[in-house]
Amino acid sequence: MTEIQEPRAVVVALTDVAVHRRTTGQEVILDGITWTVRSGEHWALLGANGAGKSTLLRLAGAVMYPTAGTVEVLGDRLGRVDMRELRARVGLVSAAQKVPLDATAHTIVLTGATGTVQPLWRKYDAATRERAHVLLAELGCKELADRRFGDCSGGQRARILICRALMADPSLLLLDEPFNALDLPSREDLVDALHRLAADRAGLATVTVTHHVEELPPSTTHAFLLKEGRELASGPVDGVLTQDNMTVCFGRPIRVSRHDGRWYARSGR
């Protein structure tokens, strides 16, 4: 007898969303976006520069409101909920995040428990401090606990910031170009860390903004291609990251292949 699986919970739901630039009210950043992310799904968000990827991620992270349409994050609709409280339930990792470079990796992770830049020492009990150590070990950074964040490599910093985002035990983790400026070994360390994270946390949903399919871990389940603010294709990853879709998305012939669960792309010219 076939076991019937329960439908996964909806984590993010955008319905007919549009975003216009505020200064003019005319320039369209996003238009007609309908998108659903469910628990346990791992999405890749790709598109050329200016396609609207960062704006879409800001909507999913409850950082901004749409010009039109509805956005629901973790069951709450933007405009009907305290955005600060909602953001506290979403994990966000971005190279642009401001954290004290002279603080240790363990301290940086601790600040994720309070959602602050500087540590609030009185807020961190023994269990919270131990949780920070556990997360560093989970992401392969145990030996970095006492190292200054500023002395860590780009790949190490990315993994430490993921630990920080996980301190609040979010159901949704948003990764805004986490591979930016990483060398090859650092990129592979981060790919491995994200793959393990997906395996260890069955209910966690992730959305990763990237320019390169080579940066996607094998655990990627879905992909969303944006072109000039509109959806070009979205859904299960194998049906989206095709040669035809990527060629249209980036405006030049692109060959896509997959080996050992990883994707590779190169221009056909």
Domains of the chain: 10-89+171-267 (3.40.50.300), 98-169 (no CATH)
Is the model more confident about 6 or about 153? 153
**Is residue 211 scored above 90 in pLDDT?**
no
Give the pLDDT of residue 5. Answer: 56
Q: What percentage of the chain has pLDDT greater than the value 90?
A: 70
**Is residue 34 scored above 90 in pLDDT?**
yes
Residues 94-102 have a mean pLDDT of 84
Give the pLDDT of residue 24. Answer: 55
Residues 213-227 have a mean pLDDT of 95
Give the pLDDT of residue 174. Answer: 96
Can you tell me which residue has the tokens 């940086």? 108
Q: How far apart are CA 189 and CA 267, in angstroms?
A: 26
Is the model more confident about 45 or about 86? 45
- Pick the closest to residue 17 from 29, 5, 30 (CA basis): 30
Average pLDDT value over all residues in the chain = 90
Residues 221-239 have a mean pLDDT of 95
- The model's pTM is 0.90
Give the pLDDT of residue 23. Answer: 63
- Pick the closest to residue 86 from 72, 97, 98 (CA basis): 72
Give the pLDDT of residue 44. Answer: 96
Model confidence band, residue 58 (pLDDT cutoffs 50, 70, 90) = very high
Burial group, residue 66, by CB count within 10 angstroms (0-12, 13-18, 19+): buried
Most confident of 75-84, 177-186, 219-228: 219-228
Give the pLDDT of residue 84. Answer: 86
**Is residue 207 scored above 90 in pLDDT?**
yes
Give the pLDDT of residue 25. Answer: 52
Kindly give the residue spans of alpha helices, DSSP state H, lying in the chain.
53-60, 83-87, 105-110, 126-138, 154-166, 184-200, 237-240, 243-250
Q: What are phi and psi of 189, to 5 degrees?
A: -60, -40
Model confidence band, residue 81 (pLDDT cutoffs 50, 70, 90) = confident
Residues 260-268 have a mean pLDDT of 87
Give the pLDDT of residue 6. Answer: 62
